[in-house]
Structures are given as structure tokens and as C-alpha cells.
Amino acid sequence: MSIEIGHYALVLALCIAIALATLLPLGLLGKNAFCRHLTATSSLARPLASAMFILCLFASAMLIRAFLLSDFSALLVWQNSHSSKPMLYKFAAMWGNHEGSMLLWVLVLSLFAMLIAFFTKSQHAKQSPLTTLTLSIQSAICALFLAFTLFFSNPFARAYPVAADGMGLNPILQHPALAIHPPLLYLGYVGLSAAFSTTIAALILNNISNEWARATRFWTLLAWVFLAAGITLGAWWAYEELGWGGFWFWDPVENASLMPWLLATAALHALMSFIKTARIRAWAILLVLLAFSASMLGTFLVRSGILVSVHSFASDPLRGIVILLCVTIVTASALALFAWRKNTENSTNLKPFPLLSREGAQFINILLLSCCCALVMLATLYPLFFEFFTKRSIAIGPPYYTAVLTPFFLVIVTALGILPALGWRRSSRKQIIRHASIVAPIATGSGIAVFLVANYSASAAIAVAFGIWALIGAARTKGAPGVACAHAGIAILLIACASASLNDVEKFRTMRVGNTITLNKGTSSTKLELKNIFTKQGSNYNELGARFQLNSKNTLTPAIRTYIPSGIKTTEASINRTILRDIYVTIATLDERSSDSSTKNRDTISVRVRKKPLMFWVWAGAAITIFGGILSLIPRNLLKRRLQQ
Amino acid sequence: MKITTRKITTRMARRIVALVMLITLLVAGITLILSALRQNIVFFLVPSDIVAAHITDTTSAASEHTDKNARKKYIGRRVRIGGLVVEGSLEQDKDSGEVQFIISDGKAQVSVRYLGLLPDLFREGQGIVAIGEIIPPPTSATTSSTKSHGELVEFRAEQVLAKHDEYYMPRGLEKELKKKNLWQGNP
């Protein structure tokens, strides 16, 4: 019964979304009392938007209830859950599949619709037309995706006959990070829709004002923070859970989340320039529109299953085509509106700004970030076109990304480093030279130092030098703590990623109890002794583990888990972490893989050990960047007041 | 008058120089990007593709130019191969830990060597994808008989991927098998 009520709530939400999308613009057109009544926030917009969100929330709650109670008469629960699963993962199973994740997408869309409805300054009794129209457009997007969810991927379908137990969630997905990774990522993806709606509304009203820029910056920044947190958690999950030993694989699904982030970053810089100097206007509009389009494209790529990816989710061709259609309609109409407005706009003749100024540096940054996004997109979609024309399946190897993106990124980082010497609208060559003459020798020195002392490769040392250059630049940035923080995070990320991926050591061998494995890099060496091999029972899995002695204090216990309902195995990596390096151990046996009984001996295991320098700082850098974003979200005067107290 | 025309021509000249520089930079950039893309293309093959390319190599005199391009394309560069692991073919070298197994697409077989941890879902009889290089065939025909798996083509894997969960094949593999009518549904 609750399943049907949830379904019904979703249908009601669709009706409200359509009503909001059509009634609000009607209210804007007319001048009589009825129309004014329609646009007043208190009478229509706020209650309806809240109702839409509450109905979507209720529908999601009904689905989660079915998961928690293991109601296998619901098709989705039967396919993705199992009665023996821990509670947290029953809860998270709701969005671990296509239908549930579409419901989550819609839920977040309606959440942002409600936030828009309440996002009006308290001193204005009447809502501005911009906010009203924004809400209407947000509701239209809501209606589109609600209709898709209801007609093409209904999460409330029933299964008959009812099965005794479910098919279980893919155990790879059984990790606390996964319980919050999709909601965070979706808050980021869909948060961009609020910025998109605001921009479309401003374009329709032909009023690209500071009000638009401030509202758009707020939504973009909010989405950017969530997107960054989601991407970081995904990387963390790959590193901790999948046991692949890396954190970024240039997989199409990862690229799909990186592209909107790159565009949102560029959009934030463009919006900042627009607010401060009224320049880079067209770029700001275009980037906001493209950022949400990229996040929809990302959803399409991930959810349609057309990409050859290690992540490959559901593959239903009809759904893919319908999502592609939705994405095309939204993107094409947005870009057409932009082109039309750009054409009719009376171009005020502004003087070209100097390249050696903040807006100049930001313009370079915007241009290069857009290029980076285009290059990632080219490589992500290239296999699809290649296969379409030549009927051959291909993939693009990771070396492409490092080769192509590195030069762009180094220029971006260079621009980031001279930021404190630049001012808005003005250029002072003397100041730049002074700043560079202090920082450049320090950066070069540290690059040479790690090359000589820490046995870094030349390319890793160059990356460290650029990172130090940017880090000092970020530290000297005054007046904007959020910006300084985010930039410092990026600089730390550059240094840490270069160290962890260019300067790591790895060893693989088979071991018996008592054997030792040694990692050598330059003068430093790490020794691991295999103490014993053990078995353990978990809540819904059996574990075969191995205990390694690293030094007198620390042991490492990597394991292989066999999950009971499905018999699926997962590798549990064991990591010894200090701020200077991670020691990462994974094990495997040939047990049960082979029909040949001679390989079934339990005293020998295969061991892979990796040493990743500065791996801790990859996570710390990402966290600092995200913190910078949060800091920028807080209004400046509020922050100042707090600091003075 | 003369001065102004000269001014205009120098301005035009400057613009033309800037434009030419911009176009050159753009062309150079695009060329570099496309070449990076081409160099990093990783083809997806099934054992019959590899064996076909291999046979043309060892008996190059017989089949003159059939699939010669294919051979050039595949040998000595990174490719992905996909197939089902043949039952009872998985072996491990006790000292180095290197594993060796045979993958098949129903028509042809390839022997895969891999130094590393097999993925969690790797089983005999199931579909896998390996990324690596085809080991170039020995130059003289006599040495080929000493190979451990008879006459099989050998492949050195850097990375082995298995089915992501119990319902899905690696996507490329399923598609390739369907194309060759070797697909028998989910096992």
C-alpha cells in the first residue's frame, strides 16, 4: 500500500510542478489584482514549492521504508536489496540503482525549487520578477524530470510473484562513503539547476543585473561545494574500497562529474569578474548554462550505459534516448535564448581590459578551464563516435589526459600564483615583478630540493615547484579568505597528486607466513613481514585476512570478503597512513577461482604493496579547497563581524 | 596623408601577424591534441581478431596484404582483449606470483600472462577484459613450439578487469561477442 501512496505523491508533485511552471509567468504578464496575487510569494509560490518538495520527500521516504522493511513485492527492492543487509546499506540502496537515483535527482530538484521560493531578501515585501520567473523555470525542469521518472523509470513498480528474498546490493557498493557519495554529487549536479534557472529568467527578462549575478554566484558556489565534496568522496571510495590503489582513473563516469565541476569553477570566476567590473558578461552567462547542461549530460552518460566503463550501470537503450532528448531540449532552448539575446543586446563599447589585471588573469583562467572541459569531453565521447563510424570498440588511455591537460593546468596555476600582485582594472608591472622575484626562487628551490633529496622524478619536481609557487601566491592573497583557502587547497592538491602518482613505489609477489616484502626507493626502504593468515565472520560476509607487521607498533590487515547471499568477493585494502606517506596493502588468493585443486592451498597468498608519498595531502588539499568554497558562501560582512568579535 | 596610410597599413600588418600567429597556434594545438588522442586509442579485441592478425604475420608470404594494417595496429601497442576464461586453464607461478590463463571467444584462444592481483570477480568460465600488449611472435618458426600453451598467441596484461557484478559483463565484451554471434546470454 505504501508503495502506491508514494507513487501517487509523485504524480501529485508532477501536477504541482506543471501548475507552478505555467501559473507564475501568467501572473507576471497581467497587471490586475489577480495576477499580482499569483506572483506574491506568500500566496502561491512558497506553499506550492514547499508542497512539491514535501511530496517528493514523502515518495522517497516510502521507497526507503520499503527498503528498510525489505518489502520484496516492490520490484526495485527485490532487485537491489537483501534481508541480511546492514541497516545503513538498506537505506543507501535506495539510490544505488537507476530508478532510485532518478527519484533522488527529482527530490533535489524540488528542494532547490523550494529554496528559490524562500530565497528572497526579507526587506522586499514583494518578490522580484527575477525570482518568480526563476521558480517557474525550475518547476518546468522539475516537471520534465518527474515525467521521465514516472513514465520511463518508475521506482514504484511491483514484482509478482513476491520473492522470498532479494537479489542483494552489489557488495562493492557496501561502504559508508557510498551512502553519502550519490546524494552529495546530486546536490552538486542539481544545484547547478538553480543557477541555470536564474540565468534563463534573467535572459527572458533581458535584465542581466547585479541581482542576477549575486543570486547565480550563490547557487553556483553552493553546487560547486557539493560537487567537489561528492567527487572527493568518490575518489576516496575508489581508493579505500575498490582496492585499485589509485584515486582517479579518468574513467568516463568520473569525467562526467569532473566536467560540470570545471565549468562551474570557470563560471564562478566569470561571475566574480562581472560583479566587480561588469566585464566578461557573456562568458558568465554561457558558462552557467553550460555547467548545468554538462551535469545533465553526465547523468545521461552514466545512466544510459552507452559508455564502456568499469562503472557501467543499467543499460536500457530507450531510457538513454529519452534522457538524451530531455538534455537536448533543455540545452538547445537555453543556448538559443542566449544567442538571441546576445544578438539583440545593444553592445556598449567597453575598453578592452588589460591582461595584467585580476579580470585579465580570470579571463585566462576561464578560457583554459573551458578548454580543459572540452578536452575531457572530447576524449569521453570520442569512443562513441569512433565506434559509430568504424564499428570498432576503443577506449582512450589515461596518458592522453595527463599529456593534454598538464600544460593547461600549469598555466592556470601560474596565473593563480601572481593573483596577490594583481588588482581589479589596473596593472602594475612593478608589483608583479617584485612578487615573482620573491616567490619564483623559493618555488624553484623547493623543486630542486625534492629532486635531489626526496628522489623525485623531474616531472614530479616541476609539479612541486609550480605547487609551491601557487601555495605562496594563495597565502599572500589578502581580503578574501575563501579565495585564498580554495587556491591553497588546489596548490596542495597539485603537489600531493604529483607525489602520490608520479613518485609511488609498488611491489607484487606471492608470500608464505614468515616471508618479508621490501619496498625500496632511493635511500628509504619499507619492510613488511607476513605474520599469519586468518579467517573471520562478519555480519553478512566471511573474511580471509592476513596480518603484516610494518614496525614494532603498526600492523596491517588486508582481507578478502566473501558475501553470503551472492558469493561475491571484495578486496579490503589495509592502509597505514602518516602525513608523509601511505602504505597500501591488498591481497588475493587463487582459491575458488580455479577448478584445479592443486592451487587451493591456503598458506600462500598474492600480495601487492604500494607506497604513496603525501597521499594524506590529496585528501587534505581537497578538504581545504571545499572549506574555501564554504567560507566564500558566508556573506563578507557577516564574516568580518564574526572575526572582530 | 602619407603618415595616416602608413599607420593604417602597419596596424593591418600587425593584425595580420597576430591573426597568422593565432591560427598557427590553434592548428599546432589541435594537431598535438589529436595526435595525443590517436596515440592513446586502446582497441578492444577478442581472441579471433588477435589470432587473425597473428597468422598473417607468421605466414606473411601466403596472405599478402590481408589484415596487414590490423597487425601493424595491434602488435606492440596497448589493446584491450576480452573473452571467457577457459575452465582449468588458470595457473600461478609459485615464485614470481605471475598468473597465466587462457581466454576464448569460442573460435580462438589467447594465453594471458599477468603479474598482479586478479580482480575480485575473476573466475574460470567467466568473462574478463585484459589491458596490455600482445607479445610479439618469435622471429623463427622453430621456437614457437616450445611455448607453454602450445601454439597460442601470448598476451601480457598490465591490468585485468572482471565483470563488475554478477549480472553484467564488461560492456565492451558483451557487445563484441554479440557482434560475432558468440553471445549465449548471461551465464
Same structural domain, A64 and A122:
yes
Q: In the prediction, which pLDDT does B52 show?
A: 76
Residues of B with Cβ-Cβ distance to A381 under 8 angstroms: none
Asked if the model's pLDDT at residue A41 lies above 90, the reply is no
A599 and A468 both lie in a single domain: no
Q: Is residue A390 part of a domain?
A: no
ipTM: 0.75
Q: Is A435 exposed, middle or buried (0-12, 13-18, 19+ CB in 10 A)?
A: buried
Residue pLDDT, tens place only, A300-349: 777 666 665 444 444 566 777 788 888 899 999 999 999 998 776 655 55
> Does B121 contact A379 at a Cβ distance shorter than 8 Å?
no
In this prediction, residues B133-162 reach a mean pLDDT of 67
What's A281's domain CATH number? 1.20.120
Determine the average pLDDT of the residues in A590-613. Answer: 70
Closest-CA distance, B73 to chain A, in angstroms, reads 13
Q: pLDDT tens digits for A523-554?
A: 778 889 998 888 888 887 888 889 999 888 88
Shared-domain flag, residues A279 and A221: yes
For B:35-64, CB contacts with A below 8 A are: 36-37, 39-44
Are A205 and A282 found together in one domain? yes
- B97–chain A Cβ distance below 8 A for any pair: yes
Q: How far apart are CA A132 and CA A637, in angstroms?
A: 27
Collect all residues with Cβ–Cβ distance below 8 Å to A458 and sequence separation of at least 6. Answer: A451
Average of pLDDT values for A264-285?
92
Q: Does B70 touch chain A (CB under 8 A)?
A: no
Number of Cβ within a 10 Å radius of residue B113 = 18
Give the pLDDT of residue A171: 61
Fold of B43-179: OB fold (Dihydrolipoamide Acetyltransferase, E2P) (2.40.50)
Report residue A97 CA to chain centroid gap.
Answer: 18
CB contact under 8 A, B120 and A592: no
pLDDT at position B63 is: 43
For A171-191, b/e burial (b = at least 16 CB within 10 A) is bbbbbebbbebbbbbbbbbbb
Region B148-166: mean pLDDT is: 71
The residue among A285 and A589 whose pLDDT is bigger is A285
CA pair distance A352, B37, nearest whole angstrom? 36
Distance from CA of A440 to the nearest CA of B (A): 27
Name A162's Cβ contacts closer than 8 Å, sequence gap at least 6.
A72, A73, A78
Q: What is the pLDDT of residue A336?
A: 95
Cell of A314: 543499467
> Which residues constitute the domain of residue A595?
505-616
Percentage, residues of chain A above pLDDT 90: 42
| Cβ-based contacts of B121 with chain A (< 8 Å) | 568-569
Q: What is the mean pLDDT of residues A60-87?
A: 85
Question: If you ran DSSP here, which 8-state letter would residue A43 be given?
Answer: I
pLDDT at B142: 44
Tell me if A304 is assigned to some domain: yes
A576 - beta bridge partners? A583
Split into its structural domains, chain A has a count of 4
Same domain, A38 and A20: yes
Q: What predicted TM-score, i.e. pTM, was given to this entire model?
A: 0.88
- Could you read off the pLDDT of B40-80 as tens digits, one per residue? 888 888 888 877 776 655 544 444 444 455 555 677 788 88
Please judge whether A604 and B121 are an interchain contact, meaning their C-beta atoms are less than 8 angstroms apart. no
Give the pLDDT confidence score for residue A597 in this predicted structure: 47
Q: Which residues contact A116 (CB under 8 A, 6 or more apart)?
A: A49, A131, A134, A135, A138, A194, A197, A198
A450-494 residue pLDDT tens:
999 888 889 999 999 999 999 999 998 887 889 999 999 999 999
Last residue of a domain, one of A117, A139, A167: A167
Q: What does the pLDDT average to over A58-74? A: 90
> How many beta-carbon pairs below 8 A join chains A and B?
123
* pLDDT at residue A262, rounded to an integer: 97
Q: Is residue A216 part of a domain?
A: yes
Note whether A497 and A509 are same-domain residues. no
**Cβ B30 vs Cβ B66: under 8 Å:** no
The proportion of chain A whose per-residue pLDDT surpasses 70, expressed as a percent, equals: 88
- Residue A471 lies inside a defined structural domain of this protein: yes
Neighbouring CB atoms inside 10 A of A525's CB total 11
Cα distances (angstroms) measured from residue B14 to each of A353, B2, B17: 19, 18, 5
More confident residue, A53 or A45: A53
The alpha helices in A40-74, defined as continuous H runs, are 46-68
Chain A residue whose CA is closest to B171: A308
Tell me which chain A residues have a C-beta less than 8 angstroms from the C-beta of B33: 375, 378, 404
Q: For residues B116-121, give the mean pLDDT.
A: 79
Lowest mean pLDDT among A103-112, A126-135, A524-533, B34-43: A126-135
Per-domain boundaries in chain B: 8-41, 43-179
The residue that leads in pLDDT, B68 or A374, is A374
Assess whether A150 and A39 both reside in one domain: yes
Distances (CA, A) of A359 to A173, A284, A407, A421, A427: 44, 12, 21, 13, 10
Given a cut of 90, is residue A253 above it in pLDDT? no
Interface contact flag, A599 B91, Cβ < 8 Å: yes
Assess whether pLDDT exceeds 80 at residue A126.
no
Spatial distance between the Cα atoms of A372 and A270, rounded to a whole number of angstroms: 16
The verdict on B24 touching A (C-beta cutoff 8 Å) is no
What does the pLDDT look like over A486-521, one tens digit per residue?
A: 999 999 999 999 998 888 888 888 888 888 888 887
Strand partners for A584: A575, A610
With 60 as the cut, is the pLDDT of residue B146 above it? no
- A563 forms bridges with which residues in the sheet? A541
Please give the grid coordinates belonging to residue A362.
580570470
Give the chain B residue whose CA is nearest to the CA of A507: B116
In a domain, A416, yes or no: yes
Split at pLDDT 50, 70, 90, the class of B147 is very low
Residue A69 shares a structural domain with residue A151: yes
CA dihedral A627, A629, A635, A638 (to 10 degrees): 10
pLDDT digits (tens, 9 = 90+) for A159-196: 877 777 776 656 656 667 777 888 899 999 999 999 99
Nearest chain A Cα distance for residue B144, angstroms: 26
Phi-psi region of A148 (alpha: psi -120 to 50; beta: other; left: phi over 0): alpha
- Answer yes or no: are the C-beta atoms of A473 and A419 closer than 8 Å: yes
Residue B166 dihedral angles phi and psi, to the nearest 5° = -75, -10
- Answer yes or no: do B120 and A310 touch at CB < 8 A: no
Q: What whole-number distance in Å separates Cα of residue A82 and Cα of residue A313?
A: 19
The top-scoring range by mean pLDDT among A12-26, A91-105, A387-401, B80-94 is A12-26
What's residue B176's pLDDT?
Answer: 59
Using CA coordinates, name the residue in chain B closest to A565: B166
Q: What pLDDT, on the 0 to 100 scale, is given for residue A46?
A: 84
- Distance from the Cα of B165 to chain A's closest Cα (Å) equals 6
Task: Confirm whether A393 is domain-assigned.
Answer: no
Measured CA to CA, the distance from residue A578 to residue A615 in angstroms comes to 9
pLDDT (tens digit, 9 = 90+) per residue, A203-243? 999 888 888 999 999 999 999 999 999 999 989 888 887 76
Question: Is the residue at A350 inside a domain?
Answer: no
Give chain A's mean pLDDT. 85
